[in-house]
Structure 1
Amino acid sequence: MHRHPAPHHPVIVTAVSALLAVMSTTQAVAEDRFYVGMDAMNWFYDEDGGEDFSSLGVRGRLGLQLTPQFSLETHLGASGTDRSSGERRELDWLYAVLARGDLPITRYTSLYGVMGIAGVEISGRDAAGDSFSESDSGVSIGLGLDFQVADGAHLNLDYIRYLDASDFDFSALSVGARWTF
C-alpha cells in the first residue's frame, strides 16, 4: 500500500470555479437549469491486498443542466469511519467533476449515467497504530435513477465508481434529493 502525506489539491478549487464560471455566463438561459442536491452515501473502500472498509457519509451536488438530456455537475463528499481488524479508515474528502446524460423512461423518471474525474482522500490508523493519509484521483463512472416527485424536486439513487486506482478502489451507493431552480 502506498502511503504518503496528503497533497494540496488545487483541482477542487479549479473544478468548482470552472463550474461556477459556466453557471454565471448562462444566467439568461431558461429556468430550471441549475440544481443542488444532498445525499446519504454508503461508501466502499478497498485497499489492494488489504481490508475492505465501508461507512455512511454525505455528498453534496451542484449542477448545471445544459440540455434536457445533458448536465455538468460537481460532487463534494466527506464523513464516515469504519474499523476492522484493529484498523480504522475515514473518508476525509471526495470531489468529482462529472458529465451527466439522462435517458427519460417516463415523464417523471429517468435513467442517468455520469462520467468524469474524481479525487479521494482516506486517512486512518493501521494495525500497528500508525497514522497515515492517502489520496488519489482518476476516472469516475456511474449509473443512477432520478424520480421527479414535485415541480423542481427529485429523488435519486445512484452507484458511482469514483476511483479504480492501483492503490485502492473507492465507490459509493447514494440516495438523496435534488432541487432545480
Structure 2
Amino acid sequence: MNNLQKSLIALVAGSLLSVSAQAALFSGVAGYTGQPYSGVKVGQYSPDDVDDDAFSYGVYGGYKFTPEFGVEAEYLTTNDADAFDDEFEKAEYSGDVYGLYATYDYVFPNTALYAKGRLGIAKNEIDVDYTDNFDTRENDSFSESDTGVAGGLGLGYNLTPMASIEAMYNFYPSVEDLDVDGITVGAHFKF
C-alpha cells in the first residue's frame, strides 16, 4: 500500500470518527436515541473491460446517530462471471467487497422517500480463473485487491417506521486499473 492510499484511509477513518462523535453529541441534545439496522442486498457488480457483469449479493448493517447521520458496514460477494471467453482461452472472475462508510440521509418533506449518500473505505478483491484451451499448463488462478475510497448515492423508501428498501449506485476501489461500480437493491429492518 503506497503513502497516498495510507493517507486516504487515515483521512476517511478520521472523518468517520469525527462525524460519529458530532452526531452522538447532537443526538444527546435533541433527544434522538439512535437506531441500529441490518439488511440484505442484491445487484450487479461491474468491472470495466469484462464480457459479463456479475450478480452480487450481500449483507449490510449500520447505526443512525441522528435521523440524518450514521455509519454503515457491508459485505458483498458475487457469482462467477466471464471476463472473456473465446475459442482459445477463457477467464472467469468473482468479487468480494468489505466496506465501512459514513452515511447521510435526506428525507423529502411529507413523504416516506429519502435520498442517501455514503462515503468511506472498502477492500475490493477480484479472484480470476484463467483457462487456456490448448495448453493446460498455462491455466492459472489468482487474486488481486485494493483498499481505498468507496461510496454511493441512492434513493430509499420507508415502508414502515421499522422497514425500508433502497436502490443505490455504488463505486468501489479500482483493482489493477480496473474501475469497478455497481447497482444494488436492498431491504433493511430497524431495531
| Superposition deviation, residue 103 in structure 1 | 1.2
Contact 1:120 1:137 in 2 (8 A): yes
Which residue, 136, 140, 146 being the options, matches 2:146?
Answer: 136
Matched, 1:100 2:92: no
1:78–1:167 Cα change, 3 Å: same
| Superposition deviation, residue 78 in structure 1 | 1.2
Contact 1:95 1:119 in 2 (8 A): yes
| Superposition deviation, residue 151 in structure 1 | 2.5
> Could you tell me how far apart the structure 2 residues matched to 1:166 and 1:89 are?
14
Q: Which residue of 2 aligns with 1:57?
A: 56
1:176–1:121 Cα change, 3 Å: same
Aligned-residue RMSD, C-alpha: 2.5
Q: Which residue of 2 aligns with 1:158?
A: 168
Matched, 1:36 2:38: yes
> Could you tell me how far apart the structure 2 residues matched to 1:167 and 1:143 are?
23
Q: TM-score, normalised by structure 1?
A: 0.76
Q: Which residue of 2 aligns with 1:6?
A: none
Contact 1:45 1:53 in 2 (8 A): no
Q: Percent identity?
A: 27
> Could you tell me how far apart the structure 2 residues matched to 1:142 and 1:110 are?
14
1:162–1:154 Cα change, 3 Å: same
Structure 1: runs of 5 or more not aligned: 1-10
| Superposition deviation, residue 41 in structure 1 | 2.2
Matched, 1:66 2:65: yes
1:36–1:80 Cα change, 3 Å: same
Q: Which residue of 2 aligns with 1:146?
A: 156
Contact 1:139 1:163 in 2 (8 A): yes
The farther-off stretch of 63-72 and 165-174 is 165-174
User: Looking at CA atoms only, which structure, 1 or 2, has the larger radius of gyration?
Assistant: 2
Matched residue SS, 1:39: strand
| Superposition deviation, residue 148 in structure 1 | 0.6
- Per-residue CA deviation, residues 49-101 of structure 1 (Å, 9 max, x unaligned), is x535411121211100011111100011113111132210012x211100111
| Superposition deviation, residue 172 in structure 1 | 1.5
Contact 1:160 1:173 in 2 (8 A): yes
Count of paired positions: 156
Which residue, 107, 113, 131 being the options, matches 1:109?
Answer: 113
> Could you tell me how far apart the structure 2 residues matched to 1:69 and 1:30 are?
11
Q: For 2:91, give the aligned amino acid.
A: E
Contact 1:116 1:139 in 2 (8 A): yes
Stretches of 4+ aligned residues off by more than 3 angstroms: 28-32, 50-53
